[in-house]
Amino acid sequence: MNLDAKIPEGSLEKKWENYKKTAKLVNPANRKKLDVIVIGTGLAGSSLAASLGEMGYNVKSFCFQDSPRRAHSVAAQGGVNAAKNYKNDGDSVYRMFVDTLKGGDFRAREANVYRMAECSLNLIDQAVAQGVPFGREYGGYLNNRSFGGVQVSRTFYSRGQTGQQLLLGSYQALMRQVGKKTVKLHARHEMLDLVIIEGKARGVIIRNLDTGEIERHAAHAVVLATGGYGKIYYLSTLAMGCNGSAIWRAHKKGALMASPSWIQIHPTSLPQSGDYQSKLTLMSESLRNDGRIWVPLKENEQRSANDIPEQERDYYLERRYPAFGNLAPRDISSRAAKERIDAGFGIGPLKNAVYLDFSKAIKEQGIDKIKEKYGNLFDMYEKITGYNAYQVPMMISPSAHFSMGGLWVDYELMTTIPGLFALGEANFADHGANRLGANSLLQASVDGYFIAPYTIANYLSGDIHTGKISTDHTEFEKAEQEVRTQLQQFSKSKGTKTVDYYHKTLGKILYDYCGLARNEAGLKFAISEIQKLREEFHRNVHIPGNEETMNTEIEKAGRVADYLEIGELMCYDALTRNESCGAHFREEYQTPEGEAKRNDAEYQFISAWEWNNASVPILHKEPLSFEVIQPIVRSYK
């Protein structure tokens, strides 16, 4: 299979401009004849649906939540990046491009990364025009703060709820189009399969989660903006409903899956406190601007944090990475925390955390300034833990967070299935092997507002004479029957173990053997264990009720069935990449200092996997070429 990334001609700075100059258009009268399905209403999905509706296309928007406002973009806290250089500290589009490419350990396309940095300038103006209440300085100018992996201040923020505020902006734009009847919104609907007719994505099979009814929906193009699959670990920063099923069902219909093992473990989560938990809580990376991370110098320390004198504390990020200190990138910071915890220096009741200390910042800036910047995060911490972080350090720990892997897409954000597009975290495109903080909201917004409206129009220009797509086609009948068969099988399954049992078991296998660190023996063991677990799941899972009504357990069963397949592919992907890069840390490939050791000679490519129902997945490779920046050893020291 030839993976054509469709990167435009011209210099790096001109590629996106050249693409827009030559992209085909659809005139306003013809747009009314064309239908687009958008799955997901987070920042990527809602912004695209609103944009396409404004342009005059007929859009159907779907989300499994009870409102688009509940999409998981709402949970992002710390900020969104843009190379505005408002602090006059040397930032630029080029510097942001370099930081992002380096942060991803040189495992992303130059053209895609530069375009994201370039479009960041417009996003802030768009958000301000929508009324997003970004933090401001005393004189009224928009304020910035820093995030990990950079040495400038380029992160725009709304205290600790930036994702929520940006999502409200795109939600308002979406609802405006719903009111104008260019967008038809379907909440509490879940995509269960993709329909392909004559090689093109032409529709989806949907389950109404309130009634259990199965529906067919047809369109000239389908867009997946369904987020990532980090919830595969069970304990993660993601909401319980987050899942990878939409992109996985598309993968099984022919869309290649790229770099599935690249999943980011966030260093600033609340630690697990017991087996009863179903998720972990994210504490924004922005806290690392003023908070200092440390552990006691003494193993198995029993004293409280405030009783440990300064000279008996190990500020290990500042010690190991003096140039970036507490703002080292997420993958590096998470591995450093795990190393200290595993070595016996962890703190808290389960000795599974490290301290995030604000005493120095409060002393220098005053408590009111810290409240102004992070007040809602401190309030959230106290509500969950019972501790006042203005008085004692926070306790934090690494937790599964973001999927750098996802559906393979070309420069136009189209998958290997013509007419099927993937946006935001659902694709693999802009982050490489590690995502820099505050680039997730950026990518999702840029994909939806500024990129996909051009690229989808370029594709749809060939469909103006196609006419309406009929849901009576035999491919719709076939896909619906496959969905009904799976649901019926789940409904008949009255085994002895719950869906959550299998999800938790899978999550532990993956965290232990395909988490912060991996090795060949562990990955082979994990593949074997996942295969056995999947066989047992389909034989012994207990599903109460039936498929013909509201049934949350049958929803979870479908998602966990997919996770059991995704998890195996993650391990295959990690097993075949004999190097360490970004979030993929193979213990066999590290420097004497314990840092990741890349192998550009053999692994400077994107792994793109093809579904193979009969045997192991099939690997395809997209070579990465670097014309502007040559890969260097990634150092933050």
Catalytic amino acids?
330
Tell me the two tokens of residue 453: 């409206």
Helix (H, G, I), strand (E, B) or coil at 471: coil
- Report the C-alpha gap between 622 and 471 in whole angstroms: 35
Contact 574, 589 (CB under 8 A): no
Rounded (10°) CA dihedral 595, 601, 607, 610? -140
User: Does residue 200 sit in helix, strand or coil?
Assistant: strand
* DSSP string of 502-554, one letter each residue: HHHHHHHHHHHHSSS-B-HHHHHHHHHHHHHHHHHHHHHBB--S-TTS--HHH
Position 348, amino acid: G
Give the per-residue SS3 of 255-323: CCEECCCCEEEEEEECCCCCCCCCCCCECCHHHHHCCEEEEECCCCCCCCHHHCCHHHEECHHHHHCCC
CB 38 within 8 A of CB 59: yes
Question: 394: Cβ–Cβ under 8 A, 6 or more apart, which residues?
Answer: 283, 287, 291, 355, 356, 357, 358, 381, 387
Contacts of 337 (CB under 8 A, 6+ apart): 267, 293, 354, 396, 397, 398
For residue 89, count other CB atoms closer than 10 A to its CB. 13
Q: Which two tokens stand for residue 165?
A: 């505020």
Helix (H, G, I), strand (E, B) or coil at 106: coil
- Closest of 401, 116, 479, 45 to residue 239, by C-alpha: 401
In whole angstroms, give the CA distance from residue 142 to residue 82. Answer: 12
User: 421 CB contacts (<8 Å, ≥6 apart)?
Assistant: 221, 222, 223, 224, 409, 412, 413, 414, 415, 452, 455, 456
User: What tokens appear for 530 in the block?
Assistant: 């996942």
Q: What is the C-alpha separation between 242 and 404, in angstroms, rounded?
A: 15
73 touches 167 (CB < 8 A): yes
| Under 8 Å between Cβ of 98 and 630 | no
Per the rule left: phi > 0, alpha: psi between -120 and 50, beta: everything else, 292 is beta
